[in-house]
Structures are given as structure tokens and as C-alpha cells.
């Protein structure tokens, strides 16, 4: 089997990890866990040259500098520079249009954490095998909590190394999420997909012909500049933004999934980051200078000032330049609505 082509999506201007994540430097480009940024870690996971070809990175001009700076360790990679953000269906279509029809692409968001890289590579290999058989393959992340913030995938009949997808389920309410977890037949949709490039484009053309044509025109009218590729801006501008989930995965009859149990987190807020970070025996995690007294489950991330904390439980404290955030873990989901996060 030929090597898998990682297609790494670098977009977004998330506010949920504000103030560390800012519009000018969002989540993928921050070293939130360990020494590497989440983008670097994504490239690193796909860095085994026995299994993976050099990556195709899809990003916007706003983040091109970060991408170039942080992808030096992925030689041979190419960068597709989107003129504007048009959601994932368009981004993947651009990458697919630049690859040979038989290339197997592995679509990877660049702002997720995966603790178990061996499990990731095994799932990628299984997904790639199904993709060569013209399945559109989603990673079904083994659900470990009744999360209401994720979409779910209902497993269907077994395939070799995976399953048919019976159906995709929108973000559920808590009671439904609990029922899914108890059922055992539901996984989280982690936004990681394996496709044969030609088959993806064929299915896209079948279900979203306008999007497929505009993406194809963007590629054919585009221009190369070294390792960068600039799609045709006029053609790209006509695209109606849509996620690959809606545009293709929920439409196709050929949706499959591989089960992936790999310590995955989308690090959707500071509480999720706390949970994904190594902690001491009191459950405290500290990055930067801090002193914690009588604390448990406290997360501190400071870019300079010392943070001294007394008596708190399950609180995140983030110091970033001229912003200080102090939030309960329950409150972490409201961070994006803070004035500072909204008006940055």
C-alpha cells in the first residue's frame, strides 16, 4: 500500500482557550501540552516516513507565518494557502484536487490532543485500508464520558478493520449522551477522516456538485510558489462554506469508521486541557512559576508572573500578557463569551 498523505487543517480563531489562544495565534500554534505546539504534535504523529508521505497543510494567510515556522520538522510538505476560510469540505477538496486520485489522504485537525500515538497510527493504517476500498472513513473515538459537545457516530455492521457507519448524530443533550455511553455502540466523531482522494471528490461531486466544481476550478486556476499553492481566489470565493460532515459524510452510502481509543481530546476549553495535562497527586497542573497551597484540581498556566493560589479546587488560572483569567472548570465553557475573548 502506498503511503498515507496527512492533510493537516489549520484554521479557526477559537476563543475558548482565551487568553492564551488569541486571534493572531490560535490553539494549533500554542504549546498547550508538553513542549510542542498542537500543530507540531499533529505533524509529529504523522512523521513516520514508513507510514506517511510528507504532509499537505491547508491554512489561511493569517496563520501562514506560524505554519511555516512550525513545520520545519516536516520536510517535503506543501502548504495550500486558502484565500479565505470556507470550512472543511472546501479545504479537503483543495487537498484532494492536488493529489493523485489513488492517494489515500488522512484528514487531521491540528488542534486535537492524542496521547497514544501508536494507537493513532494503528487506526490510521486500518482507516487507510478501508479508504482504498472506497469507504469514506471516520475515526470513531471511544467515548469515555457523556459529552454533549461532540457529534456521535452510531456503529453499524463490521467491516475489515472497522465498521459501516449506521448514522451520524448531532451533539446530543445530556440524557441522550448518557444513553449513548451506556449503549456502547456510539463513538465520538473526532473530525479525523481517511479518503481515497478520487473517491472523495466523486462523492463530493455527487452530493455537492457546485462546491466540487468551484474547488476544482480553484485548483486548476491556482498557482504554485515553491512549496506553497495558492488556489484561484475568484473561484474559491463562490464556495458555500460547509463542513465535510454535512456535505459528504452524512450524505454518502459509503461511510465507515474505525474505532480509535487513543487518549483523544479536542482541548475544547481549559477544563479539557486540565484533564489532558499531567498533574501531581492533588490533581494540580502548573506551567510557569506558581505556588499552590491547599489546592486540588487547579490548573495554572502563566507566561511570566508568579501565580500564588490558596484553598481553591477545580479552577483554571491563566496569565497571558495583559490578561488574567480565573475560572471554575464548570465556567470554562463560557470563556469565549468574555469581553476580552470576544473583542480581541
C-alpha cell at 213: 466544481
CB of 317 to its own copies, least distance (A): 6
Give the whole-angstrom CA distance, residue 52 versus residue 3.
5
Strands 78-82 and 299-302: unpaired
CA dihedral of residues 267, 123, 199, 77 (deg, nearest 10)? 70
What is the DSSP annotation of 80-123?
Answer: EEESS--HHHHHHHHHHHHS-TTPEEEEEESS-EES-HHHHHHH
Decide: 42 and 282 in contact? Cβ < 8 Å: no
Print the binding letters for residues 302-341 with its own copies: x by CB under 8 A, - otherwise: x-xxxxxxxxx--x-x-x-xxxxxxxx-xxx-xx-xxxxx
Residues in 236-295 at the binding interface with its own copies, rule: CB under 8 A = 291, 293-294
Spell out the residues 6+ positions from residue 341 whose beta carbon is closer than 8 angstroms to its own: 15, 16, 18, 19, 335
Q: Could you tell me how many residues of this chain bind its own copies (CB under 8 A)?
A: 35
Specify the residue, 19 or 109, whose C-beta has the smaller distance to its own copies.
19
| CB 272 to its own copies: min, Å | 15
- Compare residues 148 and 209 and give the one whose CB is closer to its own copies: 148
Interatomic CA distance for residues 334 and 43, integer angstroms: 30
Question: Residue 155 Cβ, how far from its own copies at the closest point, in Å?
Answer: 36
Q: Which is nearer to its own copies, 224 or 280 (CB)?
A: 280
Q: How far is the CB of 288 from its own copies (least distance, A)?
A: 10
Q: Which residues in the 4-33 window bind its own copies by CB under 8 A?
A: 19
Task: For residues 192 and 106, give the distance between their C-alpha atoms in angstroms, rounded to a whole number.
Answer: 7
Residue 86 burial by CB count (10 A; 0-12/13-18/19+): exposed, middle or buried? Answer: buried
Binding mask 47-66 for its own copies (x = CB under 8 A): --------------------
Task: Pick between residue 223 and residue 343 the one whose CB is nearest to its own copies.
Answer: 343
Q: Is 169 in the site for its own copies (CB under 8 A)?
A: no
| Closer by beta carbon to its own copies, 71 or else 302 | 302
Minimum CB distance to its own copies smaller for 108 or for 319 = 319
Q: Among 327, 338, 257, which residue's Cα sits nearest to residue 298?
A: 327
Q: Which residues contact its own copies by CB under 8 A?
A: 19, 291, 293-294, 302, 304-312, 315, 317, 319, 321-328, 330-332, 334-335, 337-341
Amino acid at each position: 500500500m502506498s503511503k498515507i498523505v496527512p492533510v493537516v487543517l489549520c484554521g479557526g480563531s477559537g476563543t475558548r482557550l482565551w487568553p492564551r489562544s488569541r486571534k493572531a495565534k490560535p490553539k494549533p500554534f500554542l504549546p498547550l501540552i508538553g513542549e510542542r505546539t498542537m500543530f507540531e504534535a499533529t505533524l509529529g504523529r504523522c512523521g513516520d516516513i514508513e507510514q506517511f508521505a510528507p504532509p499537505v497543510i491547508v491554512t489561511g494567510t493569517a496563520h501562514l507565518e506560524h505554519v511555516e515556522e512550525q513545520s520545519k520538522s516536516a520536510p517535503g510538505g506543501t502548504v495550500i494557502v486558502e484565500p479565505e476560510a470556507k470550512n472543511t469540505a472546501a479545504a479537503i477538496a483543495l487537498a484532494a484536487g492536488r493529489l493523485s486520485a489513488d492517494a489515500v489522504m488522512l484528514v487531521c485537525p491540528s488542534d486535537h490532543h492524542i496521547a497514544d500515538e501508536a494507537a493513532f497510527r494503528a487506526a490510521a493504517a486500518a482507516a487507510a485500508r478501508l479508504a482504498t476500498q472506497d469507504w469514506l472513513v471516520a475515526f470513531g473515538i471511544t467515548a469515555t464520558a457523556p459529552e454533549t459537545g461532540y457529534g456521535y457516530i452510531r456503529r453499524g455492521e463490521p467491516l475489515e478493520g472497522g465498521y459501516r457507519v449506521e448514522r451520524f448524530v448531532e451533539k446530543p443533550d445530556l440524557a441522550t449522551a448518557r444513553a449513548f455511553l451506556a449503549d456502547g455502540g456510539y463513538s465520538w466523531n473526532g473530525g479525523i477522516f481517511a479518503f481515497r482522494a478520487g473517491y472523495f471528490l466523486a462523492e463530493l461531486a455527487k452530493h455537492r456538485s457546485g462546491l466540487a466544481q468551484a474547488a476544482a476550478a480553484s485548483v486548476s486556476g491556482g498557482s504554485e510558489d515553491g512549496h506553497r499553492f495558492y488556489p484561484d481566489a475568484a473561484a474559491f470565493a463562490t464556495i458555500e462554506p460547509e463542513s465535510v460532515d454535512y456535505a459528504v459524510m452524512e450524505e454518502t452510502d459509503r461511510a465507515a469508521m474505525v474505532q480509535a481509543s487513543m487518549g483523544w481530546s479536542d482541548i475544547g476549553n481549559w477544563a479539557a486541557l486540565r484533564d489532558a495535562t499531567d498533574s501531581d497527586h492533588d490533581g494540580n497542573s502548573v506551567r510557569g512559576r506558581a505556588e499552590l497551597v491547599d489546592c486540588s484540581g487547579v490548573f495554572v498556566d502563566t507566561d511570566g508572573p508568579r501565580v500564588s493560589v490558596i484553598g481553591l479546587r477545580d479552577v483554571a488560572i491563566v496569565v497571558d500578557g495583559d490578561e488574567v483569567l480565573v475560572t471554575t472548570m464548570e465556567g470554562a465553557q463560557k470563556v469565549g463569551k468574555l469581553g476580552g475573548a470576544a473583542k480581541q
